[in-house]
A and B are shown apart, each in its own frame.
Chain A
Amino acid sequence: MTTAAPLLVVEDIVKRFETQDGVLTAVDHVSFTVAEGEFLAVIGPSGCGKSTLFNVMGGLLDGYEGRVAVAGETVNGPHPSIGMIFQEESTFPWRTVIDNVAFPLEVAGVPKAERLDRARHFIDLVGLTGFERRYPSELSGGMRQRVSMARTLASEPRILLMDEPFAALDEQTRLLLGDKVLQIQQDLKQTTLLITHNLTEAVQLSDRILVMTYRPGRVKRMVDIRLPRPRSSEIVGSDAFGHYVAQIWNDLREEASRGLKDDEQRVARAGARR
C-alpha cells in the first residue's frame, strides 16, 4: 500500500527579523508535512514564532529561507489553495454577513445570484442561518468569528490555516465553537492547520500536535493524538484527553518558563537603560 503524498510541505523554514537589538530569529529550521484531510495543531509559548510561521505558510511574509509547497507547487505569495482565518476580528464592518461570506466569490467574479446562494450554504454550515442581513456590529464575538470562518470556507481552500481563531473568546464559547470546527472539518474532510497556545483546544481538535520551542521557534516534538473520531467537546472530560494534555504541558512548561524569564530580563534591561 502506497502512502499518499502530503498536501502541505513546510521545509526547513528560517525567518529572521531586524530589530533594534539586532537580528532576531523567529523561526529556526522548522519542517513538517500535513496530509490531505488531516488536522494539525501547532502549539507553543508566546513568542515562539507560531504567527510568523502562519504568515509564511499563508504567503503573507517573504524574505525567509526554506520552502512551502501545496500539492507539490511552491508557495511564493498568497495561494488560492490556502485559506486563512486570523486571530483578530476580521469581518468587514461595512458588509452584511452574507456579503462578507460572498466576498471571495465576488472577487473571483462569480455572478451575484450564484455567489449569494453559495454564501448561504456556508452561512448555514457555521450555524448562522437567519443572520444573513445583519451587520457584524450586531453580532457577538463568536458569531463574527464564525462569519470569518464561513468567508474563508466559501473560497473552498484545500488547506485551512487558523491563527488562534478563538483567542478572544471565553472558554465555554471556545469549546462550543471547537465542536463546530470539528464538525465542519469532518464533514468537508478539510485539511486544517491550527495555530494555538491553548492545550485543551489543540488536543480536542487535532490528529497531531506539533510542539514548538520558545524563541527561536523550532520543532520540539510531534505528538499523535489517538482519540476516537468523530469527536465533540464531551471528550474533554475523558482520561485519555487528560493524559494528552498533561504530556503536552510537560513539553511546554519548560519552554513557557524560558519565555517568562526572557520577558522579565527584557523588562529589567529596559528599566536599567532608562
Chain B
Amino acid sequence: MSARTLLWREGLPIAFGIACLLALLFLVEWLVRHGLINPFIVPAPSEIASSFGRIVVEENVLGLFLLTCAEALAASLMLAVAGIALGVLLHRMRLLRMATETWIAALASAPLVLMYPLFLVLFGRSAWTIIMIGFVAALPPVVLKTLEGLTGTRAVLINVGRSFNLTPSQLYWKIFFPSALPSIFVGVRLGMIFALINIVGVEFLINFGGLGRLVNELAERYDLAGTFAAIFFVILVSIVFFLVTERIERWLRPGR
C-alpha cells in the first residue's frame, strides 16, 4: 500500500472527526452569540478555550488531573484483578453463576455512588473512599464480560485443547483466557468508564480529591467557562485510559 493511500485511509477518519467536532463548536459558538443558547448555562466555546490558561495556572488543574488519574488507576487495577478473578470463579462454579449472575447485572445499573455516606464512614474523607466507590460501582461489567468471554470460547478450540491432552490449568491459560481476552478488555474498558464517572461524581459530592472537587468549586463560584474547561480534563482522563487499554490489548493480542 502506498504512503499516500495509507495517509488517506488512516488520516481521513481522524480529520473527519476533528472537522465534525470543530463544526459542532462553531455551531454552539454561533448559537450562544446570537442568544439562542443562554450563555449563563452554556458559555461560548471561545470563552471556555480562553479559560484554560487560567485554570491551569491558578487552579493547579494538572496536579488535580494526575490525582484523578491516580485514583482511577488504583480503582482500575483492583477492578481488573478482582473482576477477572470473580468472572473466572463464576465460570468454574455453575451453581454460583446461576445464583448470582442476575444480581450482578442488576448492580450494574444501581446508583451505588449514592452510598457514599457509608463509604465515608468506612474509609473516612480520603482518597480511599473515592477509589472504593469507583471499584465497587465498576465491578459488575468486568465480571460479566469476563464470564461472557470465557463461556463464549468456541467449543472446537476447547476440543483441540482436550485432544492434545491439556491439563485444566493449561486449558485455561492457553485457550480460555486468550479466547476471552477481547471480551475481558471490553469489560475492563467499560469498568474504567463506570469507575471514572463514579470517582469524579464522589469527588464532586464530598468536595475532595481531584477534578471532581475542582468542578464543584468552579461551579459554586459560577465560573462556568472554567467548569467546562475542567470537564474537558475529565474527558481527557477517559481518553488517556482508553488509549492505554487499547495499546495493552494490541500488545496482548496482536492477531486482531
- Residue of A whose beta carbon sits closest to that of B175: A92
Task: Point out which of A59, A78, A82, A89 has the most chain B C-beta atoms below 10 A from its C-beta.
Answer: A78
> Which listed residue, B163, B175, B179, B254, touches A83 by the CB 8 Å rule?
B163
Whether A60 contacts B253 by the Cβ 8 Å rule is no
A96 and B255 in contact (CB under 8 A), knowing A60-B159, A90-B156, A107-B174? yes
Whether A78 contacts B165 by the Cβ 8 Å rule is yes
Question: Which of chain B's residues 131-188 have a Cβ closer than 8 Å to chain A?
Answer: 154, 156-157, 159-160, 162-166, 170, 174-175, 178-179, 181
Question: Which of chain B's residues 206-256 have a Cβ closer than 8 Å to chain A?
Answer: 253-256
Total inter-chain residue pairs, C-beta < 8 Å: 56
Whether A107 contacts B255 by the Cβ 8 Å rule is no
Task: Point out which of A60, A78, A94, A137 has the most chain B C-beta atoms below 10 A from its C-beta.
Answer: A94
A82 to B165, CA, bound (A): 10
How far is the CB of A68 from the nearest CB of chain B, in Å? 14
**A80 within 8 Å of B (CB atoms):** yes
* Interface residue tally for chain A (C-beta within 8 Å): 24
Whether B164 contacts A107 by the Cβ 8 Å rule is yes
> Which listed residue, B157, B165, B255, touches A80 by the CB 8 Å rule?
B165
How far is the CB of B168 from the nearest CB of chain A, in Å? 13
How far is the CB of A86 from the nearest CB of chain B, in Å? 5
> Which listed residue, A84, A93, A103, A104, touches B159 by the CB 8 Å rule?
A84
> Which listed residue, B163, B170, B174, B256, touches A58 by the CB 8 Å rule?
B163
Whether B163 contacts A78 by the Cβ 8 Å rule is yes
- Residue of A whose beta carbon sits closest to that of B154: A88
Whether A92 contacts B164 by the Cβ 8 Å rule is no
**A241 within 8 Å of B (CB atoms):** no
Residues of the B chain whose Cβ atoms lie less than 8 Å from the Cβ of A86? 156, 159-160
Residues of the B chain whose Cβ atoms lie less than 8 Å from the Cβ of A217? none
Residues of the B chain whose Cβ atoms lie less than 8 Å from the Cβ of A136? 255
Residues of the B chain whose Cβ atoms lie less than 8 Å from the Cβ of A82? 163
A96 to B178, CA, bound (A): 13
Whether A94 contacts B159 by the Cβ 8 Å rule is no
Q: Mark A128-156, 1 if CB is under 8 A from B, else 0.
A: 00000001110000000000000000010
Whether A94 contacts B253 by the Cβ 8 Å rule is yes
**A95 within 8 Å of B (CB atoms):** yes
A78 to B161, CA, bound (A): 10
Residues of the B chain whose Cβ atoms lie less than 8 Å from the Cβ of A60? 159, 162-163
- Residue of B whose beta carbon sits closest to that of A103: B164
A101 to B91, CA, bound (A): 29
> Which listed residue, B154, B170, B181, touches A107 by the CB 8 Å rule?
B170
How far is the CB of A96 from the nearest CB of chain B, in Å? 7
A82 to B162, CA, bound (A): 12
A84 to B154, CA, bound (A): 16
Residues of the A chain whose Cβ atoms lie less than 8 Å from the Cβ of B179? 94
> Which listed residue, B157, B165, B166, B170, touches A92 by the CB 8 Å rule?
B157
How far is the CB of B213 from the nearest CB of chain A, in Å? 42
Whether A93 contacts B164 by the Cβ 8 Å rule is no
Whether B255 contacts A95 by the Cβ 8 Å rule is yes
Task: Point out which of B165, B174, B178 has the most chain A C-beta atoms below 10 A from its C-beta.
Answer: B165
> Which listed residue, B163, B166, B175, B256, touches A84 by the CB 8 Å rule?
B163
Whether B178 contacts A94 by the Cβ 8 Å rule is yes
Residues of the B chain whose Cβ atoms lie less than 8 Å from the Cβ of A103? 164, 174
Whether B178 contacts A104 by the Cβ 8 Å rule is no
A84 to B157, CA, bound (A): 12
A135 to B162, CA, bound (A): 23
Residues of the A chain whose Cβ atoms lie less than 8 Å from the Cβ of B170? 107
A94 to B162, CA, bound (A): 18
A58 to B86, CA, bound (A): 33
Whether A107 contacts B253 by the Cβ 8 Å rule is no
Given contacts A59-B162, A60-B163, A90-B159, 10 further A-B contacts (CB under 8 A): A82-B163, A88-B156, A89-B156, A90-B160, A92-B157, A92-B160, A103-B174, A135-B254, A137-B256, A155-B164
Partner-A contacts on B (CB < 8 A): 154, 156-157, 159-160, 162-166, 170, 174-175, 178-179, 181, 253-256
Q: Which 3 A-B pairs have the closest CB atoms?
A: A135-B255, A88-B156, A84-B163
| Interface CB pairs A-B, < 8 A, 17 | A60-B159, A60-B162, A78-B163, A89-B156, A90-B157, A92-B178, A94-B179, A94-B181, A95-B255, A103-B164, A103-B174, A104-B164, A107-B165, A107-B170, A135-B254, A137-B255, A155-B164
